[in-house]
Amino acid sequence: MLPPAPALATTAGGFLLVLSIVAPVAGILLAFVLGDRHVRQVAFTVIPIGLAIAAAILLAPPESDGPLVYLLGAWPPPLGVALRADGLSTVMLATTAVVICAVAVFAVTDFRPAAADARAPFAFWILLLAIWAALNTIFVGGDLFTLYVALELLTFAAVPLVCLEGRAETLRAALRYLLFALLGSVLYLLGTALLYGLYGTLDIVLLSRRVTAVPGALIAAALMTTGLLAKTALFPLHLWLPPAHAGAPAAASAILSGLVVKGSFFILLRLWFNVMPGLPGFAVTQLLAALGAGAIVVGSIVALRQERLKLLIAYSTLAQIGYLFLMFPLAVDASGKLDSGGALAGGLLQAVSHATAKAAMFLAVGSIYAGLGHDRITGLRGVARALPLSVLAFALGGIALMGIQPSGASLAKELLLEETARTGQWWWAVVLQAGGMFTTGYVVLVLAHALMPSDQPVVLTGPTPLSRDLPALALALCSLLFGLMPWERYLPVPYGAALKLFGIDGLVKLLLPVLGGAALAILLSPGPLPVISSASWNTLRSVVGLCRRCSVEVGRRVERGDEVLRQWPVACISLLLVALLLAASMFASN
Amino acid sequence: MTSGVTVFGLCAAAAVGLGLNGLMTSPQPLRKIIAFNLLGSGVFLLFGIVGRRGAAAGFGNDPVPQALVITGVVVAFSATALAIALLLRLLKTSGSTTLDDPAPTSPHSDPSGD
């Protein structure tokens, strides 16, 4: 039987959803009116307001009273457009507000109006607000076409952030990003047209009651999913991500890596869990998670081989995006439907933890870069003494990302592991553990270099104001403490899930990724290892040396393969292949 | 009547196919942008057909897809404008419009971009 119809009428507090979109847009318009000199004041007026709106939505009556709804112009769907905020939207709205706020504080000194290059600061603040407006629209949008427009707005705001510095290689990265994203969004639009032709509505709630497993709907689902995967940069459709995220200024990278990829991922969740939970079936979810597993392996191995810290973090984002897709097979219930249960909660929690932790890491690297004048990993010796707060923020962000208790990632991993045990899909438990180890690998590698004492004092080339380190530290702490938040109110997290993190087996869960990660870092990183040479190490070295040579060779091959996959024609063919495979597996299971 | 819809449907499919092919195979960014527009036009045509067949309540000439197409055209226009602006900036900065990262010493110049 169909679930009881959610009220198709504006609820009390529904206007908050409109405000969450209107506030940043009003800020943009005001900034254009007031001009270059006041853009920063405008941004810092709008950001507290937006934060307050997100907090108000967070504190609105809980999920059991139904989602917040606002009907624009009081026209009910299918003719009108509805805005809705359920638990997922609420969590994402709040996370976005927090990350934007922290990044804005970080960017205060870098993007002063009337700095040497007058255009970049103005553009940055405008684009920051535009990204916020687009993301909020994605989180509360109630029909697929509104989501399309919001997705495009998000891309249009994200692409110029990539090339704020105006260097040729960043322009090239931005153009590649834009063109590939446009290809993705046109596929999404094609799917939307097919769905409208079949069912005569694009409203998510109405569609969910009408969707049936007819060929048109399956093709539409495959096209839309492929388009969204291209925008989320799931392996092997990631050609644009590393240069775009590594080339942008630190504050922009934090937004791009932490928030922008989550926008298209969120639409994918909406499409699968809300619009067509009955369609995908077992085979498609396995395929998606297999791509995710590929992303984890390739992204992490290539990350371990990077010489520059920013590229390492960009590839880590690639791996973490793969991690997000492991939730899909775990959410399939006995009847082959996607169930909005623990797996969905785990996946979203992972997305939220990654958003905060990755933003923190990019910000920390930004202040290290500003302090040292470079971000070569092998040149990080002694930086922990020179820039203790930045390194601390990076370390805390990394620890949160690894899934050390009580971080949000650890709770997410716990939830997903429970689901693997419940559904008997042990192979995804292996991938989940391996993902944690790989993450630990590249975090430990960087920290090992940064914590080594330096022979000569580190010369700082730039000022290191506290306004750069504190927001990074705050975000990292946020991510680290996410496991302790009362998620039951917003997400289908079983009560007391957080308590399980601290049992005696919690120690095993702590040590396993740390030891595995350290081993992976030693085996796969091609550079000189930051180890003080001693007699015991020298005997060990001869044993490890052979293994290391082999695995470094494997890593080199993987990096080559990644380069091939990131060529434009190859990526386009992968895109078509993914679409075909998705469609074929959907036809097979329906 | 039905045959007209079919003909337009085939045209939409052809435009989508040509656009996809162009986006995939042509090395020049400007051609890619034009191919994207062709692809988009195919999708808009599909929306027109959907409206003509009367998707929503079964009545012909459903106006909602037309509203969607107009919005879609605006979005595609802005996308094209942004892409062209980036392309011009790239040409100005590096003197070439190739998207592959060239070796810094060999400026593979192709100023016209098509």
| pLDDT per position as a tens digit, B78-101 | 999 999 999 999 999 888 878 776
Q: Are strands A82-85 and A68-71 parallel, antiparallel or unpaired?
A: antiparallel
Task: Tell me how far apart the 2 most distant CA atoms of chain A are, in Å.
Answer: 78
A contacts of B68 (beta carbons < 8 Å): 145, 196
Cβ separation of A171 and B43 shorter than 8 Å? no
**Closest CA–CA distance from residue A145 to any residue of chain B (Å):** 8
Tell me how long chain B is: 114
The predicted-structure confidence for A366-415, as pLDDT tens digits, reads as follows 998 888 888 888 888 888 888 889 999 999 999 999 888 788 888 888 88
A contacts of B65 (beta carbons < 8 Å): 193, 196
Lowest mean pLDDT, pick from A87-91, A299-303, A503-507: A503-507
Mean local confidence (pLDDT), A210-232: 92
Mean local confidence (pLDDT), A408-428: 88
Looking at residue A259, its pLDDT comes to 94
pLDDT at B114 over 60: no
Cβ separation of B79 and A572 shorter than 8 Å? no
Lowest mean pLDDT, pick from A13-27, A243-257, A309-323, B86-100: B86-100
Is B67 within 8 Å of chain A by CB? no
- Contact B56/A201 with Cβ under 8 angstroms? yes
pLDDT at A3 over 50: no
Share of chain A above pLDDT 70, in %: 93
Is A159 within 8 Å of chain B by CB? yes
pLDDT at A506 over 70: yes
The predicted-structure confidence for A265-285, as pLDDT tens digits, reads as follows 999 999 999 998 888 778 899
Is A62 within 8 Å of chain B by CB? no
Of A271-285, A488-502, B65-79, give the range with the top mean pLDDT. Answer: B65-79
Tally the C-alpha atoms within 13 A of residue A505's C-alpha that lie toward its C-beta.
3
Cα dihedral sign for A274, A275, A280, A281?
Answer: positive
pLDDT: which is higher, B68 or A538: B68
All residues at 6 or more sequence positions from A589 whose CB lies less than 8 Å from its CB, including other chains:
A280, A281, A282, A283, A284, A336
Residue A483, CA distances (Å) to A251, A433, B67 in order: 26, 18, 45
pLDDT at A7 over 70: no
Tokens of A340: 């909005």
Which of A568, A578, A580 to probe the B interface (max B CBs under 10 A)? A568
Of A7-11, A381-385, B6-10, B110-114, give the range with the top mean pLDDT. Answer: B6-10
The predicted-structure confidence for A87-136, as pLDDT tens digits, reads as follows 899 999 999 999 999 999 999 887 776 655 567 888 899 999 999 999 99
pLDDT at A479 over 70: yes
Tokens of B30: 């400007």
Packed helices A215-232 and A568-589: angle between N→C axes, nearest 10 degrees: 140
DSSP secondary structure, A475-540, as one string: HHHHHHHGGGS-GGGTS-PPTTGGGGGGSTHHHHHHHHHHHHHHHHHHHH--S-------HHHHHH
- Contact A351/A265 with Cβ under 8 angstroms? yes
pLDDT at A447 over 80: yes
Mean local confidence (pLDDT), A477-490: 85
pLDDT: which is higher, B16 or A121: B16
All residues at 6 or more sequence positions from A194 whose CB lies less than 8 Å from its CB, including other chains:
A216, A217, A219, A220, A223, B46
Cβ separation of A198 and B55 shorter than 8 Å? yes
Cβ separation of B47 and A193 shorter than 8 Å? yes
Looking at residue A581, its pLDDT comes to 94
Cβ separation of A152 and B75 shorter than 8 Å? yes
Lowest mean pLDDT, pick from A64-68, A222-226, A566-570: A64-68
Rounded Cα distance, B58 and B100, in Å = 49
Is B12 within 8 Å of chain A by CB? no
Domain spans, chain B: 2-94
Lowest mean pLDDT, pick from A10-24, A324-338, A419-433, A458-472: A458-472
pLDDT at A8 over 80: no
Share of chain A above pLDDT 90, in %: 42
CATH of domain B2-94: 1.10.287.3510
Is B61 within 8 Å of chain A by CB? no
B contacts of A190 (beta carbons < 8 Å): 16, 43, 46
ipTM over 0.85: yes
Lowest mean pLDDT, pick from A238-242, A315-319, A391-395, A488-492: A488-492
**Burial of A477 per CB tally in 10 Å (0-12, 13-18, 19+):** middle
Q: In angstroms, how far is CA A321 from the centroid of its own chain? A: 6
Is B49 within 8 Å of chain A by CB? yes
pLDDT mean across residues, chain A:
87
Rounded Cα distance, B10 and A404, in Å = 56
Is A183 within 8 Å of chain B by CB? yes
Mean local confidence (pLDDT), A187-198: 92
All residues at 6 or more sequence positions from A71 whose CB lies less than 8 Å from its CB, including other chains:
A8, A9, A10, A14, A77, A80, A81, A82, A83
The predicted-structure confidence for A514-531, as pLDDT tens digits, reads as follows 888 888 887 777 777 666
Phi, psi of A68 (to 5 degrees): -70, 135
Looking at residue A512, its pLDDT comes to 81
Residue A531, CA distances (Å) to A276, A360, A536, B82 in order: 53, 27, 12, 49
Looking at residue B58, its pLDDT comes to 60
Which of B24, B61, B87 to probe the A interface (max A CBs under 10 A)? B24
pLDDT confidence band for A1 (50 / 70 / 90): very low
Is A67 within 8 Å of chain B by CB? no
Nearest to A96 by CA among A477, A322, A318, A359: A359
